[in-house]
Amino acid sequence: MNHPMSSEARARVVFLDRSTLPAGTELREFAFPHELVVYGNTPASAVAERIADAEVVITNKVPIGRTALEAAKKLRVIGVAATGFDNIDVDACNEKGVTVSNIRNYATSTVPEHTFALILALRRSLLDYRDSVRAGRWQDSGQFCYFDHPIKDLSGAVLGIVGDGALGQAVGALGRAFGMEVRFSAYKGTRGMGPLYTPFEEIMRSSDIITLHSPLTPSTRNMIGAAEFGLMERRPLLINTARGGLVDETALVDALRSGRISGAGFDVVTVEPPRDDHPFAQARDLPNFILTPHVAWASEQATQTLADQLIENINLAWAGTPRHVVS
């Protein structure tokens, strides 16, 4: 979209799933006359009706497909309140001249910090000790401390990072600050990426902690499965704050139960929320498994940065100078 849109009339802006942002996150005013219609969430069956008269649509996770787009005759801008945009039929948007903008580089503190929260909690058996103190174990021990659960330092441990984008690099910087040996993985199945990268199989084999910061693509889906767990000679921790689907979830539970890994911390699942028959439902009570509800991105600071960027993306698109356009 190359031309600014008329500001004489009030544009209808529809936010399809406001509840996917914390209530305390402020949505600042747009720079153009508008009418804002906010829905907490929107079922797929209601999308076409709710965006039919909209000129601007905001969505985080609600899918917007070709059928709904064809009915939205006035639509000009879609602001995605997230980095991922696989819920949008971008091809159909391009055909209709609808600008789609996403959020970028807003989580470079919150996701790495959550990653290390999971690592530290598992590496130092933090939850086990908290629970045992609550159960009275300290009083029963009769001394100033007790040693029921393993505690391991991060200093000197090998941190294998799969994904070398902004988040992976930020995780690496934190790892170095802890005194860890940081290694970035080459792409699975590739060689010759240069001395800055360690072959994927070697990352699996030699790491004390493996953390994932890759997008989910056909080439990365289930990139860690039974075969990769079989390579993990050092019984590492496996951390995933990136995308559900990077790890074969059934194989992960098997690896936890069999002791092929020493623990896992996940913030993402293939189906969110996971159903009762999901493999992770079998692992929720394992002491070496921590599952958080896709909140690594959701610090107060990061969500406000996201919201501010979202508003500015829409303002710029409305003015005919879009940024962060996806294709």
> Structural domain tally of the chain?
2
Return the SS3 of 281: helix
Lowest-pLDDT range of 3-7, 173-177, 217-221, 233-237: 3-7
Q: What are 129-172's pLDDT values in tens digits? A: 999 999 999 999 999 999 999 999 999 999 999 999 999 999 99
- Residue 64, Cα to own-chain centre: how many angstroms? 20
What is the predicted pLDDT for the residue at 327? 79
Q: Report the DSSP beta bridge partners of residue 238.
A: 210, 264
**Mean pLDDT calculated for residue range 265-272:** 96
| Report field, pTM of the whole predicted structure over 0.75 | yes
127: number of CA atoms within 13 Å, CB side?
Answer: 15
Beta strands in the chain (DSSP E): 11-15, 34-38, 56-59, 77-80, 99-101, 158-162, 181-185, 197-198, 209-212, 237-240, 263-266, 289-291
**Mean pLDDT calculated for residue range 71-93:** 96
- The answer to whether residues 92 and 186 belong to one domain is no
Q: Is residue 324 part of a domain?
A: no
Q: Is residue 323 part of a domain?
A: no
Q: Does residue 187 carry a pLDDT above 60?
A: yes
What is the predicted pLDDT for the residue at 244? 95
Q: How far apart are CA 132 and CA 128, in angstroms?
A: 6
- The answer to whether residues 304 and 268 belong to one domain is no
Q: Is residue 69 part of a domain?
A: yes
- The answer to whether residues 169 and 191 belong to one domain is yes
Confidence of residue 194 (pLDDT cuts 50, 70, 90): confident
**Mean pLDDT calculated for residue range 257-282:** 95
Q: Which of 51, 207, 192, 44 is nearest to 123 (CA)?
A: 207
> Do the beta carbons of residue 158 and residue 207 sit within 8 Å?
yes
Q: Is residue 166 part of a domain?
A: yes
What domain range includes position 167?
Answer: 110-291
Helices (H) and strands (E) in the chain, counts: 11, 12
Q: Which residue has the tokens 């994927």?
A: 200
Q: Does residue 19 carry a pLDDT above 50?
A: yes
What is the predicted pLDDT for the residue at 160? 98
- The answer to whether residues 256 and 161 belong to one domain is yes
- The answer to whether residues 170 and 255 belong to one domain is yes
| Cis before 273 (ω within 30) | yes
- The answer to whether residues 80 and 46 belong to one domain is yes
- The answer to whether residues 40 and 157 belong to one domain is no
Q: Does residue 221 carry a pLDDT above 60?
A: yes
Q: Is residue 126 part of a domain?
A: yes
- The answer to whether residues 254 and 311 belong to one domain is no
* Residues taking part in catalysis: 243, 272, 294
What is the predicted pLDDT for the residue at 8? 60
- The answer to whether residues 150 and 285 belong to one domain is yes
3-state per-residue secondary structure call for 228-274: HHHHCCCCCEEEECCCCCCECHHHHHHHHHHCCCCEEEECCCCCCCC
- The answer to whether residues 287 and 226 belong to one domain is yes
Q: Which residues neighbour 231 within 8 Å (Cβ) at sequence distance 6 or greater?
A: 201, 204, 205
Confidence of residue 193 (pLDDT cuts 50, 70, 90): confident
Q: Rounded to a whole number, what is the distance in angstroms from the first to the last CA of the chain?
A: 13
Question: What percent of the chain clears pLDDT 90, i.e. is strictly above it?
Answer: 92
- The answer to whether residues 184 and 286 belong to one domain is yes
Quote the DSSP letter at residue 282. Answer: G
Q: Is residue 259 part of a domain?
A: yes
What is the predicted pLDDT for the residue at 284? 87
Q: Is residue 5 part of a domain?
A: no
Q: Does residue 5 carry a pLDDT above 60?
A: no
Q: Is residue 2 part of a domain?
A: no
Q: How far apart are CA 83 and CA 310, in angstroms?
A: 11
What is the predicted pLDDT for the residue at 192? 79
Q: Does residue 1 carry a pLDDT above 50?
A: no
- The answer to whether residues 136 and 91 belong to one domain is no
| Mean confidence (pLDDT) of the chain | 95
